[in-house]
Amino acid sequence: VACRAGTLAIVKELMSFKDLLEAVDVAGWNPLHIAVHVGRREVVVLLLQAGARPNHRNGKGQVPAELCADNGTYEAIRSFELHQQKTNGRPWDVRIDPAQGEDVVGSRLQYEPFFVPRQPVIRTQQFKKEFQRIGMLIFNRQPGFGLAFLVASGVARDYPVDMSTFLRRSKVDIKQVGNFLGEAFSLSHTIRLEFLNSVVMQNTGVVSALIQVFHMLQLPDDLQKINRLVHGVARIWWRQHERMVKDSKDSSAMPPARASTLGGAETGSKPQLHLSEELKGLELKQYLTSSDVLHQIMFSAVLLHWFMYKDSNGKGTVARKDVDFATWKRINAGIETNGTSIPEHVQQQVYRVISKAFIPELALASESRRNQGDAAAGGGAGAATLPGEDSVALE
């Protein structure tokens, strides 16, 4: 999985376990077979440098080079083979640009989904409100079918911006919004980025940005879905702050901070999160080299919150399990692109915010609240159907 879709930092971490270099699946494919097949040149280079054998055959007798469809990846394999023939055990030195962070081919395949807008089957506006209500109820059971119905009935146009607006403004189940946007489908990916891009994350920090987003949808209980959502948050956060840097060159006035009011402006019984203590905006960005690093620390923060408060019921009863900062810091070691770590004071501030209080927005679907209002306010009223129920009431 790491060689197919994981970041370079994850691949490097797993490569420290030498036995994994030659581990095979049921079809006889090893990590090198998979990385070559999907065209991840940088991963292929790392595997070959670590000692992966390019002549290993899978269950069909194929060596990795026979599965290659990318010229850059094939050239890397040929370069390694020629080096092996001409030198006597000397290391194969191929430079990987650290600023690039991710392999070009893998990124292009992942972030350019094919999308063809569909036309509505029903064009009348007479029953639009009724169709919208039915579509919402279907969405709360099966999100993909619900969106398809809304498009077919003419309630929403088949464009990412329209579907994103519907998810934000309609009284749909935010648990299902999180589940759908966290899927690996190309449509989910397209709408996910449009949805996240509509959230203002300027001058937010690691925790406050997550709260800003997951106030509008609920974190699924699937780690891969969480990873996709958090990855999208990090990318959009980074893009918005790069735009701030560009705009600041033309104007000395910076946008006002928004995140300081999050977590403390609600009911008086809610614990104060002290989000003002964490680094925000460009002040945070200066300590990170890429959006990938931000993604890693955000994902780590979500997991830290889950571990600390996983025994809480989300209804006022908070059961906390302590994790000391040294342990969490050790988990985050080496996640920078050059193998170094995020400055300790940055991690310390994130840890301090999370350890102070349970944060409902960071609770997973299996342990937290059901929707209570529209998506922009944290949920949907009147859509009380959970996945797995036997029927949907279309009253």
User: What's the mean pLDDT in 149-156?
Assistant: 87
Position 44 in a domain? yes
Using the 3D structure, point to which of 111, 135, 153 is the last residue of a domain: 111
Flag whether pLDDT at 106 surpasses 80: no
Do 216 and 105 belong to one domain?
A: no
Residue 80: pLDDT band by 50, 70, 90 thresholds?
confident
The partner residues of 364 in beta bridges, in order of sequence, read 219
Do 107 and 209 belong to one domain?
A: no
Residue 170: pLDDT band by 50, 70, 90 thresholds?
confident
Handedness of CA 62, 68, 73, 77 (dihedral sign): positive
At 112-132, the pLDDT tens digits run 444 556 777 777 778 888 988
Q: Please tell me the chain's helix, strand, coil percentages from 3-state DSSP, rounded to the nearest 5.
A: 50, 0, 45
Neighbours of 365 (CB within 10 A): 20
Do 100 and 208 belong to one domain?
A: no
Position 105 in a domain? yes
Using the 3D structure, point to which of 111, 146, 172 is the last residue of a domain: 111
pLDDT of residue 349: 93
Residue 334: strand, helix, or coil: coil
- Backbone torsions φ then ψ of 153, nearest 5 degrees: -90, 0
Q: Classify each residue of 111-139 as buried b or exposed e, where b means 16 or more C-beta atoms within 10 Å of its C-beta.
A: eeeeeeeeebeeeeeeeeeebbbbbbbbb
Position 388 in a domain? no
Do 107 and 215 belong to one domain?
A: no
Flag whether pLDDT at 111 surpasses 60: no
User: Rounded to 5 degrees, what angle do the CA atoms 308, 313, 319 make?
Assistant: 40
Q: Which of 344, 242, 231 is nearest to 293 (CA)?
A: 231
Task: Outline where DSSP puts E strands in the chain.
Answer: none
Neighbours of 221 (CB within 10 A): 17
Parent domain of 216: 201-369
Using the 3D structure, point to which of 80, 111, 142 is the last residue of a domain: 111
Residues 347 and 324: their CA atoms lie apart, in Å, by 12
At 371-383, the pLDDT tens digits run 443 444 334 433 3
User: Rounded to 5 degrees, what angle do the CA atoms 175, 160, 162 make?
Assistant: 85
What is the token pair recorded at 248? 């600041």
Amino acid, single-letter form, for residue 286: Q
Q: What is the largest CA-CA distance in the chain?
A: 79
Residue 278: pLDDT band by 50, 70, 90 thresholds?
confident
Flag whether pLDDT at 64 surpasses 50: yes
Q: Which of 49, 41, 45, 51 is nearest to 21 (CA)?
A: 51
Q: Classify each residue of 289-307 as buried b or exposed e, where b means 16 or more C-beta atoms within 10 Å of its C-beta.
A: bbbbbbbbbbbbbbbbbbe
Flag whether pLDDT at 62 surpasses 50: yes
Residues 340 and 389: their CA atoms lie apart, in Å, by 48
How many domains are there within the chain? 2
Domain with residue 106: its CATH number is 1.25.40.20
Q: Which residues contact 280 (CB under 8 A, 6 or more apart)?
A: 203, 204, 205, 208, 257, 259
How far from 58 is each of 28, 49, 64, 75, 223, CA to CA, in Å? 4, 20, 8, 21, 29
At 133-149, the pLDDT tens digits run 998 999 999 998 988 88
